[in-house]
Amino acid sequence: MPISHFFCPPTKAVAAKRERRKEARPGELLDAALDLFVEKGFAATRSEEVAARAGVSKGTLFLYFQSKEELFKAVVRENISGRFTEWNAEFEAFEGTSAEMLTYCLNVWWERVGATKASGITKLMMSEAKNFPDLAAFYQQEVIQPGQTLIRRILQRGIDRGEFRPMDLDYAVYSVVAPMIYLVLSRHSMNVCMQDGHTIEPQKYIDAQVATLLHGFSLPPAASAPPKAVE
């Protein structure tokens, strides 16, 4: 190999590859952080572990994220809270009934979050929020409040259109949220609340919850007029 090779500047192809690698690093760090946060929890995950799994130095990690807390917030925004703009746009464009919208909402949430590693963040927050109040406040603002607001809009739409009965929306929202939290916790806890040998089939579970919710939310059919007395 000519000695001049060692002194030549990198080719355009090599430079481009390095640039792509640099641009990819934040995404790789977020993926590694999500894996470790879900596997070990927030407190037990160390920044150097995230860097090592992403194949970079700890110093490189801190070039993009100033602290483990900021890294966690970025993970939440990337995988959950960043989707609310998209979901609210879908709400505005939806043309079906409110029952169809609620059904769509639960199924899409499961497909895009619940069935992914990102759902492990829910379990993490429930177990560690008390020890990290700043992260709990962040999660409330970025995930809980927008999520409940969207569900509330769906239920209010049903009421306004005469499809759902009037209800206390502050509490009705929890009727939608609670079954999905149970499904997530079951997924990340090896179905510990299920009987031996039984597992939850997510689609059947969601279908059953939707049927129960809609039966409770929907207005009963108008009572038919009593028959006229025969003269």
Alpha-carbon span 11 to 170, nearest angstrom = 61
In a domain, 28, yes or no: yes
Q: Are residues 86 and 148 in the same domain?
A: yes
In a domain, 99, yes or no: yes
pLDDT in tens, 103-125: 999 999 999 999 999 999 999 99
In a domain, 138, yes or no: yes
Q: Are residues 131 and 37 in the same domain?
A: no
Q: Are residues 189 and 102 in the same domain?
A: yes
Alpha-carbon span 113 to 107, nearest angstrom = 10
Q: What is the CATH number of the domain that holds 50?
A: 1.10.10.60
Q: What is the CATH number of the domain that holds 185?
A: 1.10.357.10
In a domain, 75, yes or no: no
Q: Are residues 58 and 102 in the same domain?
A: no
Q: Are residues 56 and 143 in the same domain?
A: no
Q: What residue numbers bound the domain in which 62 lies?
A: 10-67
Q: What phi, psi does 164 have (nearest 5°)?
A: -115, 150
pLDDT in tens, 169-212: 999 999 999 999 999 988 888 666 666 667 889 999 999 999 99
Give the total number of structural domains in the chain.
Answer: 2
Closest CA to 148 of 96, 199, 208, 81: 81
Predicted TM-score (pTM) of the model is: 0.80
For the chain, what is the mean pLDDT? 86
Q: Are residues 61 and 144 in the same domain?
A: no
